[in-house]
Structure 1
Amino acid sequence: MSEGSAGKVNMAFIAAIVAVATIGGFMFGYDSGVINGTQKGLEAAFDLGKLGIGVNVGAILVGSSIGAFGAGRMADIIGRRGVMMLAAILFLVSALLAGAAGSSAIFIIARIIGGLGVGAASVISPVYISEVTPASIRGRLSSVQQVMIISGLTGAFVANFVLARYAGGSTAPLWLDFPAWRWMFWLQAIPAAIYFLALLVIPESPRYLVARGQDERARAVLTKLFGAEEANRKVGEIRASLAADHHRPKLSDLIDKASGKVRPIVWAGIGLAVFQQLVGINVVFYYGATLWEAVGFSEDNALQINILSGVLSIGACLGTIMLVDKIGRKPLLLIGSAGMAVTLAIVAYAFSTAVTGADGGVVLPGHNGLMALIAANLYVIFFNLSWGPIMWVMLGEMFPNQIRGSGLAVAGFAQWIANAAISVSFPSLAVSPGLVVTYTGYALFAAISFFFVRAMVHETKGRELEDMVG
């Protein structure tokens, strides 16, 4: 967006459509976090062991990886809004089916369906936001996605805590004599329905419309966003960027025709996506209650700690919104990598001091329990100040127009595969080789991510999407 058109930007309209698009982030967060307080119920209902819990928890990630891979390409066919509407339907079906599941197999199917929605929303919402916002504030508005993801996670944590407290435990009967853990899933149907209805009133991405030859529809959307003069300029810019390599987007575009190798920008996107998971953040989100109970906290206290982590995460994301368009994406990633490496190492040290208490349970002696709690929450703050929102911001804006859908498909797929590997492996790793070695491994990945960012990631702050190269 040019400086001269700044006064014509319809910020109220932009804010409204960003708010609707980021409900997908809320659903992403709720669907990911709701499992945290339901594991005792699943274990009791389906007679699951450690591996069974890992498979049931990780089932969503199978769907998420497929959804992320397919959504990028599908968004080039049916549009960004079309994919988000499909995701909303998947969320609704998953919520109803997961709560009603009578067997582990049905539950796994329900979570895979939800995962398809999570994967689709996770990659398409940031793209949509980046394509309808001015470059000067794109980072801030794209970061709202992570605020909504964490809000969804926190909402799930609060719902889990309230329902479990009201019923007397996650496995205790609640309304209509169904156990509380089932209602934790059913509550998700409410925001899913709101998401679908809200999507009916926002426009399609103008960049998608131009790519499909619908220049007049794109001009109408851009006029409402930025004014008539800027709309004409932007349609011309988008058309020119596509004309430079005008054909239907496809996965082979990710390979540089001159060298025959995968484009460096694609490797950078994959690296960002994978490292965001290798630092272990979703162990906190998926297994937070189980983790804190494993080191001596009660179920009630563990669920309260989850809520604290969620609130701190939202605060950190708000910090990102204030900083991302001022100091840039790369500096925040570097700060986050360094901070996570240190705090994860402290958590690993605290866990290394665990001893067996008088009642046979595990306790952390002295002030080490408090040390672990503070370090873990600082780690959550560093993640949500940096890698949490910035990875999604960059994936939504770093790829050139021609390969944005395909680049997101591959990076999103890699992100969810890494997520699955970390999440499914954690219950077994927590037993052997144990929490100390496991968290030390996450700390090492955080340290490596620092050097990856320095070498591979290029700043995108303030650059127009049509100027991205790779």
Structure 2
Amino acid sequence: MSSSATPADASAHQIQRLNPKVLVISIAAAIGGFLFGFDTSVINGAVNALSDEFALGAGLTGFAVSSALIGCAVGAWFAGALSNRYGRIPVMVIAAILFFASAIGSGLAFGVWDLIIWRVVGGLGVGAASVIAPAYIAEVAPAKFRGRLGSLQQLAIVLGIFTALLSNALLANTAGGAAESLWFGVDAWRWMFMIEAVPAAVYGIMALFLPESPRYLIGKGDLDKASRVLYDFTGEVDVNLKIQQIRRTLEREDKGSLRDLLGGRFGLKPIVWIGVLLSLFQQLVGINVIFYYSTTLWQSVGFDESQALLTSTITSVMNIVATIIAILLVDKVGRRLMLLVGSAGMTVSLGLMALAFSFGEIAPGADSITLPDPWSTVALVAANAFVMFFGTTWGPLVWVLLGEMFPNRIRASALAVAAAAQWAANWAVSATFPALSNIGLSFAYGLYAAFALISLLFVFLWVPETKNRELEDMDDLQLGHRKKDAEKTAPSTDGA
């Protein structure tokens, strides 16, 4: 075991203030997260109009809506290998091009199948952005501020979701309906897709001016550029020492590949399994059910369908507020404790939702469930509590951990595998919810509560604390509560 005074400690103590430059480039990188949120949500406002336009049945409509998730998983899987080979910035530019092409192609689609193809193209961009943004931000951010800067990814995602809802509403209201003509005789639902081309172009242009990740540059032997990035953006004072530390973690083998993730009794290295399971639990608690199927929930507690936009907007704003709270707390409280609190809170709130819906009633001739008092209020409060617990913990912190917990050599590849698993779980939860709700909403929310409880045990037993640790120390990261010295040996630079 290393002594308590290590070079990494000294380096961390040198960085006491956040360099505005690293904040700017982190925000620019997080625009990929904004497009991630926008692209996955924008179809919600267009689905009824495009279903009528192309005379789609329920099955094909559902596939059109979920088709982007196929691209998300594929894009995430290949983004790591591409970024290892060509760099983090080129992958951002590729993602921006995919977003731009998908926006225009989806808006001008002449049939459902080319719409699906363009949605898959957009999904490739979403998957790539979900990998490259947290990896890049973690690699340019100082350890002391890495949690806050890494949380910008989730803040950008929820802002993208909110902006998609808002732009959909504005376009539909201006045209008098999503299926009505707007500018140049083009239907409003088509403009809902095409408007995404604007932030996609901004993302691509800004990416061209971003500095490359110093970890990638050192791996390619470009030490001069890496030195400038570390000094000008990250704020390293002893650049040569930091380069030596990074080189040691990168040069343990000749070349990185997906094979480097293999090991241990269960096929993957333990730290990679931690990342994969974090990704799975983030989805298995059912957060996207709240967003994708929120209308059903709100109607069951007495809201009219016409108020769906208002209620969805309230949920989105709550998610934004929750993410801001997480940004303020993550580098002070630490990742593990916040995840534990989040899991406990989600378990209770989802359990209350399951209990409330066990009292649900379906009136004769009605096709939706209603809740009597006081269970309608309990369900409403519990649903919003669930969003807050998720938004302040598991929403942003999983992205933070995935960006920082893997050793330098396998970071991009491991993050790609974890993100692909996350998209697969997202699809599985969204696709199975209608069948689960047919059994009963009480059963569905009870199942998500069980996953939340398991996530609590998982974090307690296996998830390490990465607060204030340098990325170069992640090779020696200890797993679980049985080796708590991982946090104790990390430098305390908080000042709190």
Cα distance, 1:337 vs structure 2: 1.0
Paired residue for 1:373? 380
Residue 144 (structure 1) aligned with residue 152 (structure 2)? yes
Instruction: Choose from 427, 437, 458 the match for 1:452.
Output: 458
Paired residue for 1:277? 283
The 5 Å alignment of 1:295-310 reads 297-310=303-316
Paired residue for 2:492? none
1:167–1:180 Cα contact (<8 Å) kept: yes
Instruction: Choose from 341, 353, 356 the match for 2:359.
Output: 353
1:273–1:412 Cα contact (<8 Å) kept: yes
Mapped to 2, the partners of 1:295 and 1:52 lie a distance apart of 30
Which segment is superposed worse, 65-74 or 175-184?
175-184
Which segment is superposed worse, 444-453 or 174-183?
174-183
1:10–1:224 Cα contact (<8 Å) kept: no
Paired residue for 2:14? 5
Opposite residue 377 of structure 1, the aligned amino acid is N
Opposite residue 285 of structure 1, the aligned amino acid is F
State percent identity of aligned pairs. 47
The CA deviation string for residues 424-470 of structure 1, in whole angstroms up to 9 with x for no partner, is: 2233433x223332222111111111111111211111110000026
Paired residue for 1:398? 405
SS in 1 for 2:350: helix
The CA deviation string for residues 160-189 of structure 1, in whole angstroms up to 9 with x for no partner, is: 222333333333443334333222211111
The 5 Å alignment of 1:419-458 reads 419-430=426-437, 432-458=438-464
Mapped to 2, the partners of 1:354 and 1:142 lie a distance apart of 41
Cα distance, 1:50 vs structure 2: 3.4
The 5 Å alignment of 1:44-193 reads 44-193=52-201
Instruction: Choose from 293, 312, 320 the match for 1:314.
Output: 320
Cα distance, 1:294 vs structure 2: 6.5
Distance verdict in 2 for CA 1:176–1:358, change over 3 Å? farther
1:399–1:407 Cα contact (<8 Å) kept: yes
2:18–2:145 Cα contact (<8 Å) kept: no
2:95–2:128 Cα contact (<8 Å) kept: yes
1:37–1:303 Cα contact (<8 Å) kept: no
The 5 Å alignment of 1:155-304 reads 155-226=163-234, 229-243=237-251, 245-256=252-263, 261-289=267-295, 291-293=297-299, 297-304=303-310
1:274–1:415 Cα contact (<8 Å) kept: yes
Mapped to 2, the partners of 1:439 and 1:35 lie a distance apart of 25
Opposite residue 381 of structure 2, the aligned amino acid is I
Mapped to 2, the partners of 1:51 and 1:434 lie a distance apart of 21
Cα distance, 1:367 vs structure 2: 4.4
Opposite residue 391 of structure 1, the aligned amino acid is V
Opposite residue 398 of structure 2, the aligned amino acid is M
Mapped to 2, the partners of 1:428 and 1:252 lie a distance apart of 38
Mapped to 1, the partners of 2:445 and 2:187 lie a distance apart of 33
Paired residue for 2:489? none
Which segment is superposed worse, 386-395 or 402-411?
402-411
Cα distance, 1:293 vs structure 2: 4.7
Residue 22 (structure 1) aligned with residue 35 (structure 2)? no
Cα distance, 1:11 vs structure 2: 1.2
Normalized against structure 1, the TM-score is what?
A: 0.93
Mapped to 2, the partners of 1:59 and 1:427 lie a distance apart of 17
Normalized against structure 2, the TM-score is what?
A: 0.89
1:343–1:379 Cα contact (<8 Å) kept: yes
2:323–2:392 Cα contact (<8 Å) kept: yes
Mapped to 1, the partners of 2:413 and 2:208 lie a distance apart of 26
Which segment is superposed worse, 408-417 or 221-230?
221-230
Distance verdict in 2 for CA 1:297–1:44, change over 3 Å? farther
Matched pairs, number: 466
Opposite residue 316 of structure 1, the aligned amino acid is A
Cα distance, 1:359 vs structure 2: 8.0
